[in-house]
């Protein structure tokens, strides 16, 4: 379950920042941008975070939301281009597998909402 290691990585990245914040700061929501190539299962990441969030008092009440991004796909054979929500290997128009990909590899914390202000 690689979502657990993603959640642990998020905590590792957030911890220094959390430690810098005022004692009464509480994280409410963390929005994670995830590209289709990362194959993040949103429910699995949400569940993993419910375990990991307890490692820090400032995130113990927080939830994760996954903001899925797209892959920009272009077919080199017929020129068709489209946005795919998941990894694709064939052009839906001509069936070619000669595809060019843009984006879709994102995996980062896009937004953190706290009881104080939006970061
Ligand atoms: Zn094509």
CA of 94 to the centre of ligand 1 (A): 4
Global pTM value? 0.85
Q: pLDDT tens digit string along 24-64?
A: 999 999 999 999 989 899 999 999 999 999 999 999 999 99
CA of 51 to the centre of ligand 1 (A): 44
Residue with tokens 């077919």: 75
CB 99 within 8 A of CB 66: no
Tell the burial category of 27 from Cβ atoms under 10 Å away from its Cβ (0-12, 13-18, 19+). buried
Q: What are phi and psi of 58, to 5 degrees?
A: -80, -15
CA of 49 to the centre of ligand 1 (A): 40
Give the count of alpha carbons within 13 A of 11, CB side only: 22
Per-residue model confidence (pLDDT) at position 117? 66
Residue 59's Cα: distance from chain center in Å?
Answer: 17
CA of 97 to the centre of ligand 1 (A): 8
Distance CA 32, CA 64 (A): 7
Q: pLDDT tens digit string along 59-86?
A: 999 999 999 999 999 999 999 999 999 8
């Amino acid at each position: 379950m690689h979502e657990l290691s993603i959640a642990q990585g998020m905590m590792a990245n957030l911890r220094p920042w959390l430690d810098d914040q005022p004692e009464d700061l509480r994280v409410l929501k963390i929005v994670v941008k995830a590209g289709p190539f990362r194959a993040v299962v949103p429910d699995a990441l949400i569940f993993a975070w419910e375990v990991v969030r307890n490692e820090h008092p400032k995130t113990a009440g927080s939830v994760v939301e996954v903001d899925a991004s797209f892959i920009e796909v272009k077919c080199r054979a017929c020129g068709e281009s489209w946005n795919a929500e998941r990894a694709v290997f064939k052009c839906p128009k001509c069936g070619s597998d000669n595809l060019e990909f843009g984006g879709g590899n994102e995996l980062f914390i896009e937004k953190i909402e706290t009881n104080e202000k939006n970061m």
